[in-house]
Structure 1
Amino acid sequence: MTMNGFDPTSEGIDKKLALHFYSRWKFVDELLPLLEKASSDGEEARMMSILAPGTSLGALDTTDFGLKKNYSVTRAARQGPGYNDNFVAEYAARHPNVSFIHINPGAVNSSLTQNILPWYFKPLLFPVTLFLRSISDCGEYMTSALLNPAYKTGGFWLNQSVDSISTSRLYVGDEDARQKLVEHYTKEVAF
């Protein structure tokens, strides 16, 4: 986790967006033949992206995919979840026999909470950790979502309690914008 500005990979993709979006879906693309094969063989085929569904800044900005024109840490933090929300919708439509889940783990007491603050804030962190979900509890919720029969096929956006997120919080309705995002993604990961 970093609060630095635009920090490109050798391919010119911001490292935060590379982690939160591009690499996830490149991984999914590589596994799709196996997911489709499992499904055609009668097995369940599911994919889960763990980030923050329903927290994007709104409709996709089709003029600045990858935030190369107008970058901010806040935009990067919100755009990654929005891209994932849209890809869940798009891939669920393209692959109707596979389950695509985007889930929010909630506030988890992980090493990330210990390592992101400067040393002088760490004593203040202890009381906060009392209200965070343990790693094992989070894992149980995530696993229950992945194995839940209700999420066998289709696209799903879930909160930390494995409840569906209101579609009013999701910006995935514009098929034209989704297609432009897919075209952008395809161009960026074609290496």
Structure 2
Amino acid sequence: MVSLSEVRTHNATLSSLAPNLVAIFVGGTSGISHYTALEFARNTRSPHIYLVGRNAAEAAKITSELKSINNSSKVDFIQKDVSLLRKVDEVCKEIKEKEKKVNLLFMTIGYMTLKGRNETEEGLDHKFALHYYARTRFMHNLAPLLDAAAKDEDPKATLSRVVSVYDPALGKNNDFDFSDPSLKNNFSLKNCATHGSALGNFAIEHLAKQWPNTSFIHEQPGIVETSGGRNPWLKPLYALLSPFSVSKKESGERHLFEATAPRYAPRAKAEAVQGVVNGGDGVKGSGHYHLSWNGEAQPDTKRGMKMRAEGAEEKMWAHTSEVFQKICEEGGKY
């Protein structure tokens, strides 16, 4: 476990980084993205923060909050429903028109539901689209800008990291149906969770090889009160779990640590970093990391190793590329 004192000591050093770091918080109008954006503003100099979400009223409140913490912050809100991949492309296009580099892509999009499969107009389940396809489309589209940040001439401006907050363990401990990766035929909430996790694990493994100057993190956040806590049906549950939960402040601090700490170094730079942790494949410094809520690297599992031996990375990326091709390049439906 990374102690909270270690987290805070590290975060306090971030003011030594170059000013004007660019951070994108997808799902930034609530929950963990909100808490992490606050800590990013608190600990960096003149940051440029993008909040991506649907709720303009909440975004206005958070923008004021960020400005009050650090009046040198620049904050842009992009209002989009990113459960649609074509809307993800619109967000990325807008960012690319304004920025030449991105230092941090931080994603928490998703929602709780007890309903069954609910297809978007693009042919993907709405929940599954948020938990996997949209996140991966953001990574795919913004990888060149993240790579540009990693190659900045100023060594204090080379932060280049992706953090996707979901749960890597689900995809390493449960069976994956290779014959139905998008769950057109075998959808259940359990299968959706497993597939979203497994696809997410192997997507960052693939991207870490393609873009070795950027580090990719898939993290399980623990129990944290998010926007769901405002739901009257969920308030009693949060109250019951409060002794085991992570506070909003601590969650933001820990996620900022994961978004910036050298121990989660990109593949190309890991050899030179003391204390770099094992990647999701069990290889030290592989550039793709599976983390627990407390910053510890999760070990690989026998099931995860078996999937890798069966060509999971290649199969899952082939499926993802097919989805992107049909929806984003051809303008069709999957």
TM-score between both structures, scaled by the size of structure 2: 0.53
Instruction: Report the Cα distance in structure 2 between the residues aligned to 1:130 and 1:94, rounded to whole angstroms.
Output: 42
What is the match of residue 301 of structure 2?
168
Cα separation, partners in 2 of 1:114 and 1:151, compared to 1, 3 Å = same
Q: Which amino acid aligns with 1:50?
A: V
Instruction: Determine if contact 1:159/1:165 at 8 Å carries over to the other structure.
Output: yes
Greater RCO, 1 or 2 (C-alpha within 8 Å, sep 6+): 1
Cα deviation digits, residues 138-168 of structure 1 (max 9, x gap): 1111111111111120111100000000112
Large movers: runs of 4+ above 4 Å:
121-125
> Percent of pairs identical after alignment?
31
Instruction: Report the Cα distance in structure 1 between the residues aligned to 2:314 and 2:175, rounded to whole angstroms.
Output: 13
Q: Alignment partner of 1:33: what SS? A: helix
Instruction: Report the Cα distance in structure 2 between the residues aligned to 1:112 and 1:123, rounded to whole angstroms.
Output: 11
What is the match of residue 151 of structure 1?
264
**What is the Cα deviation at residue 126 of structure 1?**
2.2
Q: Alignment partner of 1:167: what SS? A: coil
- Counterpart of 1:12 (choices 117, 120, 123) is 123
Instruction: Report the Cα distance in structure 2 between the residues aligned to 1:62 and 1:38, rounded to whole angstroms.
Output: 35
Q: Which amino acid aligns with 1:28?
A: M
**What is the Cα deviation at residue 113 of structure 1?**
3.6
Instruction: Determine if contact 2:229/2:235 at 8 Å carries over to the other structure.
Output: no
- Counterpart of 2:142 (choices 28, 31, 35) is 31
- Counterpart of 1:179 (choices 314, 323, 328) is 314
State the structure with more CA Rg. Answer: 2
What is the match of residue 184 of structure 2?
68
**What is the Cα deviation at residue 125 of structure 1?**
4.5
**What is the Cα deviation at residue 49 of structure 1?**
0.5
**What is the Cα deviation at residue 114 of structure 1?**
4.1
Instruction: Determine if contact 1:92/1:155 at 8 Å carries over to the other structure.
Output: yes
Q: Which amino acid aligns with 1:2?
A: T
Correspondence 1:188 to 2:188: no
Instruction: Report the Cα distance in structure 1 between the residues aligned to 2:237 and 2:139, rounded to whole angstroms.
Output: 39
Instruction: Report the Cα distance in structure 1 between the residues aligned to 2:161 and 2:245, rounded to whole angstroms.
Output: 27
Deviates more, 1:50-59 or 1:19-28: 50-59
Runs (5+) with no aligned partner, structure 2: 1-111, 267-286, 329-334
Instruction: Determine if contact 1:51/1:102 at 8 Å carries over to the other structure.
Output: yes
Q: Which amino acid aligns with 1:148?
A: A
TM-score between both structures, scaled by the size of structure 1: 0.89
What is the match of residue 206 of structure 2?
90
Instruction: Determine if contact 1:54/1:169 at 8 Å carries over to the other structure.
Output: no
**What is the Cα deviation at residue 186 of structure 1?**
1.4
Cα deviation digits, residues 85-118 of structure 1 (max 9, x gap): 1112111122211100111111002231442x63
Deviates more, 1:50-59 or 1:1-10: 50-59
Deviates more, 1:52-61 or 1:72-81: 52-61
Runs (5+) with no aligned partner, structure 1: none
What is the match of residue 165 of structure 2?
50
What is the match of residue 281 of structure 2?
none
